[in-house]
Amino acid sequence: MKTPVSASSPATAADLALMQGAPPPPAQHVTLASWQEGPHNRWSFQHASEFVPTANLSRGDGPVFELPTDLERLDGLAIRGVACASTLEEFLSETYTDGFLILHEGRVRYERYLNGMTPATRHLLHSISKSFCGALTGEFVERGVVELDAPVRAYVPELWDSAYGDATVANLLDMTASVRFSEDYTDPASEVQAQDRAAGWRPRRAEDPENSYLFLRALVGDGRPHGSEFQYCSATTDTLAWVLERATGCRYTDLFADALWSRIGAEHEASITVDSAGFAFANGGVSTTLRDLARFGYLMLHGGTVDGFRATPPNWAARHRDNGDPSLIGSEIDFAVAYPNGSYSAGWWCTGDAAGTYYGAGIYGQFLWIVPEASLVIVKLSSLPRPLDPAATRDHREGFHAIVNALT
List the alpha helices (DSSP H) in 125-190.
Answer: 128-142, 152-155, 169-173
By beta-carbon proximity to a second copy, the closer residue of 25 and 76 is: 25
DSSP calls for 380-398 = EEE--SSS--HHHHHHHHH
Instruction: Collect all residues with Cβ–Cβ distance below 8 Å to 94 and sequence separation of at least 6.
Output: 5, 6, 8, 9, 10, 84, 85, 395
Rounded to the nearest whole angstrom, what is the least distance from the CB of residue 147 to a second copy in the complex? 18
By beta-carbon proximity to a second copy, the closer residue of 209 and 324 is: 209
Cβ contact 244:255 at 8 Å: yes
DSSP calls for 45-81 = TT-GGGTS-EEEE--TTS------B--GGGTT-B--S
* Residue of 303, 297, 302 whose CA lies nearest to 377: 297
By beta-carbon proximity to a second copy, the closer residue of 255 and 350 is: 255
Rounded to the nearest whole angstrom, what is the least distance from the CB of residue 311 to a second copy in the complex? 21
Rounded to the nearest whole angstrom, what is the least distance from the CB of residue 50 to a second copy in the complex? 5
Catalytic residue check, 131: no
By beta-carbon proximity to a second copy, the closer residue of 46 and 231 is: 46
CA distances from 33 to 8, 48, 188, 197, 375 (A): 27, 13, 11, 10, 41
Rounded to the nearest whole angstrom, what is the least distance from the CB of residue 162 to a second copy in the complex? 15
Q: How far apart are CA 294 and CA 343, in angstroms?
A: 23
Give bridge partners of residue 358 from the DSSP assignment: 350, 370
Rounded to the nearest whole angstrom, what is the least distance from the CB of residue 274 to a second copy in the complex? 5
Q: Which of 127, 129, 212, 383 is catalytic?
A: 127
Give bridge partners of residue 56 from the DSSP assignment: 271
CA distances from 53 to 14, 17, 274, 285, 293 (A): 24, 24, 6, 10, 21
Instruction: Collect all residues with Cβ–Cβ distance below 8 Å to 132 and sequence separation of at least 6.
Output: 256, 260, 282, 286, 296, 347
CA distances from 214 to 86, 201, 250 (A): 49, 16, 19
Residues that bind a second copy in the complex, under the rule CB under 8 A: 19-20, 22-24, 29-32, 47, 49-56, 58-61, 118-120, 122, 211, 213, 242, 245-246, 249, 251, 268-269, 271, 274, 276-279
By beta-carbon proximity to a second copy, the closer residue of 277 and 337 is: 277
Q: How far apart are CA 98 and CA 86, in angstroms?
A: 19
Give bridge partners of residue 55 from the DSSP assignment: 272
Rounded to the nearest whole angstrom, what is the least distance from the CB of residue 226 to a second copy in the complex? 22
By beta-carbon proximity to a second copy, the closer residue of 241 and 376 is: 241
By beta-carbon proximity to a second copy, the closer residue of 112 and 251 is: 251
Rounded to the nearest whole angstrom, what is the least distance from the CB of residue 286 to a second copy in the complex? 14
Catalytic residues: 127
